[in-house]
Amino acid sequence: MQPGGMWVEVRRVKGRTLAEMWKELFEAEGIPTRILSDGLEEGELSTYRVLVPRFREHVVEEVLRKI
């Protein structure tokens, strides 16, 4: 999590493809989503953080309960 920030981390995943899948799922539910690489490189070997606005974090929890 990012203390005091507008965006909070809701998932940390390996690989851009998986990060994009989470982003698509959350955005399909109307939740703005960002993905950020943890390292300098991007790709399937990198770790990604999936971020949503702090005020939408509770909606993410509801989405995750449904799956």
Which CATH number covers residue 16? 3.30.70
| Residue 1 belongs to a domain | no
Total count of domains within the chain: 1
pTM: 0.84
Instruction: Let me know if residue 2 belongs to a domain.
Output: no
Token pair 């509801």 is at which residue? 62
Residue 36's domain comprises 7-66
pLDDT in tens, the chain (67 residues): 444 579 999 999 999 999 999 999 999 999 999 999 988 777 778 999 999 999 999 999 999 999 8
| Residue 52: inside a domain | yes
Cβ atoms of 16 and 44 closer than 8 Å: yes
Confirm whether 39 is domain-assigned. Answer: yes
Residue 60's closest CA among 15, 2, 7, 5? 7
Residue 11 forms part of a structural domain? yes
Residue 57 lies in a domain: yes
